[in-house]
Amino acid sequence: MRQNYTNIFSWLTIFALALTINIASAFQANKSDTTLHLPKTKITTTKNSYPKTGLHLALPPLKPAVTSTAKISVIRTDDKLLTDVQVYPNPVTDIINVKYVLSRNALVTVKVMDVLGNDVMTLVSQRIGSGEQSFTYPVSNKLSRGFYFIRVVAGTESVIKRISVL
């Protein structure tokens, strides 16, 4: 019995809310701006009470049967394990400098790949602590001239940077 009453009350509340929104949008459709002004009331105060004033609401423009295309993106930097990956100098002549920031301890793998995606060499493959990390790797006589990709993998995240070797 109680479950049935709760369901009926919930549906009645939703219906009343939908009806209120529909009526409010009908009144708003006639206005060119989207500011709702309620009738002014007298400001009355009594001992130990706050003044009663009218309510002023700014509502977004409402158009019936129109879906908004606004996209909301939330970026949470605390969720990312690997950030601020830098590979320099580019173009590379004799050494590669790789710098990145880890938010927590993770297994890090840094590989050099050719343009077809084949692994050419592995620069680093070890567990590294959190914080800013950087290392230098000599590549003279190890890579021929051309374009390569540096792939930095930390946990399940990876970042790929393009380099050219002269």
What are the pLDDT digits (tens) for 15-34? 888 888 878 776 665 555 55
Domains of the chain: 2-58 (no CATH), 77-165 (2.60.40.1930)
Q: With bands split at pLDDT 50, 70 and 90, how would you rate the model's confidence at 134?
A: very high
Q: Is the pLDDT of residue 74 over 60?
A: no
- CA-closest candidate to residue 96, choices 140, 141, 147, 151: 140
Residue 34: closest CA among 69, 63, 55: 63
pTM over 0.75: no
Torsion angle in degrees (nearest 10) through CA of 54, 60, 64, 69: -160
> Is the pLDDT reported for residue 155 higher than 70?
yes
